[in-house]
Amino acid sequence: MAVSSEFSRILTLLRKEKGISQKAAAASLGVSQALLSHYEKGIRECGLDFLVRAADFYGVSCDYMLGRTPDRSGTTLSIEEIPEPDSAGKENVMKGSILVVLNKKLIANSLNILFDMLNKAGSSSLTREVSDYIMIAVYRMFRVVYSANDKNQSGMFKLPEQIAHQYCAAAMEMRQANASAVASGKPLDGMDRIKDVDSLSLSTEKITREYPLFGTSLLNLINSAEKAVDFHPPQK
C-alpha cells in the first residue's frame, strides 16, 4: 500500500504525544521495533491492516494519519463549524495581562475592517494573498512562542526549524508583492482584478463612521504599528 508522505511524520508525532517508547508502541501494534522504526522514518510503506491498527490505537482516523485532513476524527471543517473569534467559552476568556487582552482586541477588530474591505473589493486573488500573508505571520509567531518550551514536540510542524524563518519570510514577501500587484490595478496573469475600487475609499472620519465598533481599534493599531516600526524621518 502506497501511503502519504505525511504518514511517517504523523505516526511519530502521535507516539510521542502518547508518551510511549518505540518499543512499547511496536508491541501494542503487533510489529517489531525495527519495522515500526522504518515506518516512522518513511523507509518502508505499511499495509492497510497496520494503518487501521495504528489509527485505532491512537484514537484518530485513517484520513488523519495519511495527512488528508487536519481533524483527528477525519472530518473536514465547514465554514459554519468554525467558531466566531468572539464566541463565548473558556478558550476566549482572557485573564491576567491587560496588554494581552488589549492587543488581541485591536488586532481582531482591525481584521474585521480589513476583511470587510476585501469583501467589497470582490477580488478572490487579493483575498487569497492577504489571507495567506496574515496566516503565515500568525504561524511564525505561534512557532516562536511554542518553541519557548523545549518539551513541546517539533513534529507538529512539517517545515524544518532550520529553514522555517527564511521560507516564511520569502513567502510573505511574495504574498505582499502579489497583493500589491492586484491593488495597483496590474494583476499578474491568472489573477482577477478588484471589481469596485470606489468601495475602498476611506478616510479617518469615514472609518469611524462606517465602523463604529471597530474603527477606533484600527486607528490605534495603525498608531501602535508605526511606533513599533520606530521610523524617524531625517531632519531637514
In a domain, 79, yes or no: no
pLDDT per residue over 53-107, tens digit each? 998 999 888 888 887 777 677 665 555 555 666 655 555 555 557 788 888 889 9
Instruction: State the DSSP code for 182.
Output: H
**Same-domain pairing of 208 and 174:** yes
- Please name which of 33, 147, 1 lies closest in space to residue 15, comparing C-alpha atoms: 33
**Same-domain pairing of 56 and 144:** no
Angle, helices 33-41/22-29, rounded to nearest 10 degrees: 110
Q: Are 114 and 215 in contact (CB under 8 A)?
A: no
**Same-domain pairing of 154 and 221:** yes
**Same-domain pairing of 150 and 218:** yes
Please count the structural domains in the chain.
Answer: 2
pLDDT per residue over 11-70, tens digit each? 998 898 888 999 999 999 999 999 999 999 888 888 888 988 998 999 888 888 887 777
In a domain, 236, yes or no: no
**Same-domain pairing of 12 and 39:** yes
3-state secondary structure of 5: coil
Instruction: Supply the range of the domain harboring residue 163.
Output: 84-229
In a domain, 75, yes or no: no
Q: Are 129 and 182 in contact (CB under 8 A)?
A: yes
CA 118, CA 235: separation in Å to the nearest integer? 37
